[in-house]
């Protein structure tokens, strides 16, 4: 059972449920009571005759598969098997009957369970009825609001000529090449090729050859080096620029974090960026016939990207409008689990922002918005899943494979490896549910009234 699947359920405060197997005979009886918002308790009873039948069946199966010393296979006395393996068989039967009885009650109920039940007061004996209690969460009940024909205002996806100009410039920039430049003729805006070394107490802790730096930038990765740009402009071939720096916290060796080190840069070469002209040769290289052709392609791409972003904005807005109009009680266990996850992420963000672990933990735990966001997210999930059921929205296996292929391409991994990661990590249901909700949002947009 997935914790975010949805169903149209009508829950009563106290009801009785019962179910039977294929021949109509009842295996278990149950009384159901409410344990709070979206939480139920089933008091289940399995007849002693059923327990006896299952025990007998399991012992006979054991006799047919095991061979004891002094007896041919399948000929060992049941009394001997019960004496030697009785406790293990009882445990197996108990677990099997719990599973079957709970599934039986779930299948016949009006509510829809989520998560894994907790079992209490388990009383199992071969001489009496088998009784136990199952406590679990159920899907919240709510009425779907009006979701067809919702009115929203759309935003223009029109592209200005100035935007096309900038995009054409970027295309030329991206096609730029770096060409050798005599050291001494370099200036701000050119590029320097340097050898780097970082030293603490005359011992190198980091070295890297032929690093490309833009002259005029005073940073190397996350390290700020005052006047680095000016120093590179004035440097000659093989000149060494020496600076005192503090080892950053993202340095691979944590033992050096915060220590003062000497950073040496040796200028080895200089290069100049050469941007191609927007001429016939460059256009031909792009597979285009004219500048007008290029601008037309650029406009089309910009409009498509803007349209995609606008559709996504509309979908998110519609989903929020529809979901926020629904009032529902939520399973508190799910709220707490989601709240805990969001609190941990907030702590990490605060630590990355410079707070100590203690400060981050205290601030995250006091942030009242975390629980509100957790409740809002869960409400949206339940509403979207109910809409998916209502509109019979589903995701095919081919669509899942296509999404996994896109993920594999993004991270430069084989598809088989990504599929195995998702399967072994139990992430395939989550991926499928997420894709299903995406489709629901698209459905909302298509059924909405979007004014221009």
| Cβ burial, residue 140 (10 Å; 0-12/13-18/19+) | buried
Percent of the chain with pLDDT over 90: 71
pLDDT at res. 314: 97
Q: Do the Cβ atoms of 165 and 407 come closer than 8 Å? A: no
Instruction: Kindly calculate the radius of gyration of the chain based on its CA atoms and give it in whole angstroms.
Output: 34
Question: Residue 19 and residue 44: Cα distance in Å, rounded?
Answer: 12
pLDDT at res. 24: 53
For the segment 111-137, what is each residue's pLDDT rounded down to a tens digit? 999 989 999 999 999 889 999 999 999
The mean pLDDT value for 69-85 works out to 82
Q: Do the Cβ atoms of 263 and 242 come closer than 8 Å? A: yes
- Cβ neighbors of 128 (< 8 A, separation 6 or more) are 48
Q: What is the pTM of this model?
A: 0.70
pLDDT at res. 26: 67
Distances (CA, A) of 180 to 183, 230, 269, 276, 431: 9, 20, 8, 16, 49
How do strand 449-451 and strand 151-153 relate by DSSP bridges? Answer: parallel
The mean pLDDT value for 182-186 works out to 86
The mean pLDDT value for 35-54 works out to 93
DSSP letter, residue 111: S
Angle (deg, nearest 10), helices 397-410 and 415-424: 110
Question: Residue 115 and residue 39: Cα distance in Å, rounded?
Answer: 11
- Cβ neighbors of 330 (< 8 A, separation 6 or more) are 37, 38, 140, 375, 378, 379, 382
Lowest average pLDDT, out of 12-21, 250-259, 352-361, 422-431, goes to: 12-21
Question: Residue 422 and residue 431: Cα distance in Å, rounded?
Answer: 9
pLDDT at res. 25: 63
Instruction: Name the maximum alpha-carbon separation found in the chain.
Output: 99
Domains in the chain and their CATH numbers?
14-138 (3.30.70.1050), 177-274 (3.10.50.40), 328-390 (no CATH)
pLDDT at res. 22: 44
For the segment 315-364, what is each residue's pLDDT rounded down to a tens digit? 999 999 999 999 999 999 999 999 999 999 999 999 988 889 999 999 99
Nearest to 3 by CA among 429, 437, 435: 429
11: pLDDT confidence band, cut at 50, 70 and 90?
A: very low
- Cβ neighbors of 10 (< 8 A, separation 6 or more) are 110, 111, 141
pLDDT at res. 10: 33
pLDDT at res. 20: 41
């Amino acid at each position: 059972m997935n914790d975010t699947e949805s169903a149209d359920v009508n829950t009563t405060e106290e009801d009785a449920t019962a179910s039977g197997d294929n021949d109509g005979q009842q295996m278990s009886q149950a009384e159901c009571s409410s344990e709070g918002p979206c939480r139920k308790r089933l008091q289940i009873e399995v007849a002693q005759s059923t327990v006896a039948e299952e025990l007998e069946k399991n012992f006979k199966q054991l006799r047919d598969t095991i061979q004891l010393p002094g007896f041919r296979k399948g000929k060992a006395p049941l009394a001997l098997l019960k004496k030697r393996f009785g406790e293990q068989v009882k445990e197996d039967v108990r677990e099997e009957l719990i599973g079957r009885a709970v599934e039986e009650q779930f299948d016949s109920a009006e509510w829809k369970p989520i998560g894994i039940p907790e079992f209490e007061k388990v009383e199992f004996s071969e001489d009496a009825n088998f009784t136990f209690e199952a406590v679990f969460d159920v899907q919240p009940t709510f009425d779907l609001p009006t979701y067809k024909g919702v009115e929203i205002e759309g935003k223009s996806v029109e592209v200005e000529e100035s935007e096309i100009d900038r995009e054409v410039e970027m295309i030329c920039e991206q096609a730029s090449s770096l060409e050798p430049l005599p050291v001494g003729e370099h200036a701000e805006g050119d590029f320097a090729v340097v050898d780097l070394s970082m030293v603490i107490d005359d011992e190198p802790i980091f070295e890297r050859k032929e690093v490309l730096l833009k002259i005029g930038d005073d940073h190397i990765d996350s390290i700020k080096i005052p006047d680095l740009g000016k120093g590179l402009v004035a440097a000659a071939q093989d000149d060494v620029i020496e600076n005192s720096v503090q080892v950053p916290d993202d340095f691979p060796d944590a033992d050096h974090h915060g220590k003062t080190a000497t950073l040496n840069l040796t200028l080895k070469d200089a290069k100049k960026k050469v941007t191609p002209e927007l001429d016939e040769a460059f256009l031909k290289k792009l597979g285009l016939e004219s500048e007008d052709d290029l601008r037309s392609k650029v406009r089309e791409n910009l409009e498509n990207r803007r349209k995609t972003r606008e559709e996504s904005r509309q979908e998110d807005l519609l989903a929020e409008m529809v979901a926020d109009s629904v009032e529902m009680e939520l399973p508190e266990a799910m709220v707490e689990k989601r709240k805990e996850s969001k609190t941990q992420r907030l702590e990490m963000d605060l630590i990355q922002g410079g707070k100590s672990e203690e400060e981050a933990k205290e601030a995250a735990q006091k942030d009242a918005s975390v629980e509100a966001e957790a409740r809002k997210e869960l409400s949206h999930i339940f509403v979207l899943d109910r809409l998916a059921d209502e509109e019979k929205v589903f995701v095919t296996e081919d669509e899942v494979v296509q999404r996994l292929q896109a993920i594999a391409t993004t991270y430069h991994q084989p598809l088989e490896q990504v599929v195995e990661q998702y399967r072994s990590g139990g992430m395939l249901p989550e991926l499928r549910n997420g894709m299903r909700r995406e489709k629901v949002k698209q459905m909302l947009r298509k059924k909405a009234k979007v004014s221009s």
